[in-house]
Amino acid sequence: MSWDKGKETKSWKDIMEAEKYVYTLGEAGEKFLEGLKEGKIYGRKCRKCGRVYVPPRMYCEDCFEELDEYVTLRSPYIDSFTTIYYDDEGNKLDKPVSIAIIRFEGVKGGLLAYVEGEANQNKNVEIISYDIPLKVKVV
Ligand SMILES: [Zn+2]
């Protein structure tokens, strides 16, 4: 492969058998999934700068501190959403489906969720199912 302007890059086609790989959750991912089973959303807080991340991370991306404090997140709201009216084959759905990015005040990151009720930006929601993706209800 060359980065020189005007030259072609080389490529090849192959098949990746991704389904044969096993990924570990890691410490932070395991704690996050344990939280879902308990009906909680865990974030991880940086002791140096105070930033909180969800899903939890091992290191603060701003100050590179190792993170070791878990916090339970509260007051989720809709950051952005889309409403789907047709399936992937073009058939109209019986009922539209809304999917949103849920965020928490003062927390960096977000989670995907199905929305019950009329989705709108900045609307507060209640988490009604802690499966992945989450299911939330507009309050
Ligand atoms: Zn930090």
pLDDT digits (tens, 9 = 90+) for 48-104: 999 999 999 999 999 999 999 999 999 999 999 999 999 988 999 999 999 999 999
Distance 26 CA to ligand 1 centre (A): 20
Q: How far is the CA of 62 from the centre of ligand 1 (A)?
A: 5
Q: Alpha carbon 31 to chain centroid distance?
A: 15
Residue-wise pLDDT for 59-75, tens only, equals 999 999 999 999 999 99
Listed by start position, the domains of the chain span 22-73, 74-139
52 C-alpha to center of ligand 1: Å? 8
Q: Which residues surround ligand 1, an ion (CB under 5 A)?
A: 46, 48-49, 60, 62-63, 65
pTM of the model: 0.80
Give the CB-side neighbour count of residue 16, counting CA atoms within 13 A: 3
Q: Which CATH superfamily is domain 74-139 in?
A: Nucleic acid-binding proteins (2.40.50.140)
